[in-house]
């Protein structure tokens, strides 16, 4: 796979010269200080081998990418019953929008917008009963899927999100008022902020997504994580909802399932082939990594990886 390594090197070199790099998220104070000059990419192939370029080993805040893993965990606990509390449709609005929640009586459009992820956090909490226990369970799951015991959450980021997360607090309280949170909003927010505050590198994230690329089974350890049907469905949700109001554009340009985070990371899945993680902290207007999207567009084009 010399060709893949060459392509990753070329993409990294091309993007290094870009002046327009987007703007790092500034509503979470520790993220505002991360330089938009960073760039890393990692590709974990199902057939074996991890290919990287740039700062692929530098940990960053995975933010909303964590929602793929909390959804996977919650589906394992509740199965299809989870869909009574959260939908599976793109929202066509911002990740932190409250607008549809009133029209749709407290049922969030999908598990990746903030209100949907809060419902998923509530479901996980109801299963484990204490925020600390739930956060531990999420971290254990991330360590299991990535086969890496070092993965953890950054308490500074979690604390900063709690201190500034008035919009998320509003969403949690609003969900509670519709009867779609079983636990105190404070507890749900605690779980949510901690899973958003997990730090991982592109290399760790690409490995962690391996089970989604490989029909539910970790391609390195061979351990089964979820069924192939469920992996396919999670990929479908990533494709339709993973980039919020930019999901259509991502599908058009990149053509593979992807989930972004405001830390500037994107996890993208090439079903049957590879799990890809990219990181560049500058965001576009929809809150998705500007250069990360561009890197994936180039990679998918050069490798013929679009599913369409």
262 binding ligand DON? (CB under 6 A):
yes
Active site amino acids = 64, 67, 192, 244, 262
Q: Which residues of 123-132 are buried (b: 16+ CB within 10 A; e: fewer)?
A: bbbbebeebe
- Determine the interface stretch with ligand DON among 77-85, 126-134, 256-264, 299-307 (rule: CB under 6 A): 256-264
* Nearer to ligand DON (CB atom), residue 216 or residue 287: 287
Burial class (CB in 10 A: 0-12, 13-18, 19+), 252: exposed
As measured in angstroms, the least distance from the Cβ of 260 to ligand DON is 5
- Is 292 a binding residue for ligand DON by CB under 6 A? The answer is no
SS3 120: helix
Q: List the Cα angle 225/158/149 in 5-degree steps.
A: 40
Residue with CB nearest ligand DON?
Answer: 64
Cβ neighbours around 56 below 10 Å, total: 24
Give the Cβ contact number of residue 20 at 10 Å. 8
Query: Which residues does 304 contact at the CB level (< 8 Å), separation at least 6?
Result: none
* Binding pattern for the stretch 32-61 against ligand DON, x by CB under 6 A and - elsewhere: ------------------------------
Residue 24 touches ligand DON, criterion: CB under 6 A: no
What 3-state DSSP class applies to 117?
A: helix
Q: Is position 204 an interface residue for ligand DON (rule: CB under 6 A)?
A: no
CB of 29 to ligand DON, least distance (A): 12
Chain positions contacting ligand DON, by CB under 6 A: 63-64, 95-96, 114, 161, 168, 196, 260-262, 287-288
């Amino acid at each position: 796979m010399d060709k893949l390594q060459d392509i990753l090197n070329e993409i990294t070199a091309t993007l290094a010269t870009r002046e327009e790099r987007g703007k790092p998220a500034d509503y979470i104070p520790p993220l505002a200080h991360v330089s938009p000059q960073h760039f890393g990419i990692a590709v974990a192939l199902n057939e074996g081998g991890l290919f990287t370029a740039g700062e692929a080993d530098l940990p960053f805040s995975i933010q909303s990418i964590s929602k793929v893993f909390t959804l996977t965990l919650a589906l394992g606990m509740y199965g299809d019953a989870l869909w009574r509390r959260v939908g599976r449709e793109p929202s066509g609005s911002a990740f932190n929008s409250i607008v549809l929640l009133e029209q749709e009586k407290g049922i969030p459009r999908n598990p990746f917008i903030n209100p949907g992820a809060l419902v998923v956090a509530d479901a996980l909490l109801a299963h484990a009963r204490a925020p600390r226990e739930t956060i531990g369970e999420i971290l254990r799951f991330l360590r299991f899927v990535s086969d890496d015991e070092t993965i953890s959450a950054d308490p500074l980021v979690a604390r900063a999100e709690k201190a500034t997360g008035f919009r998320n607090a509003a969403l949690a309280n609003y969900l509670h008022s519709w009867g779609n949170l079983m636990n105190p909003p404070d507890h749900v927010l605690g779980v949510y902020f901690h899973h958003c505050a997990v730090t991982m590198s592109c290399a760790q994230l690409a490995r962690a997504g391996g089970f989604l690329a490989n029909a539910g089974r970790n391609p390195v350890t061979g351990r089964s994580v979820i069924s192939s049907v469920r992996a396919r469905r999670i990929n479908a949700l990533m494709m339709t909802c993973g980039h919020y109001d930019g999901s259509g554009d991502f599908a058009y340009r990149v053509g593979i399932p992807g989930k972004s985070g405001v830390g500037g990371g994107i996890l993208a899945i090439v079903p049957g082939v590879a799990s890809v993680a990219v990181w560049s902290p500058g965001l576009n207007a929809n809150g998705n990594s500007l250069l990360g999207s561009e890197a994936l567009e180039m990679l998918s084009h050069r490798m013929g990886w679009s599913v369409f």
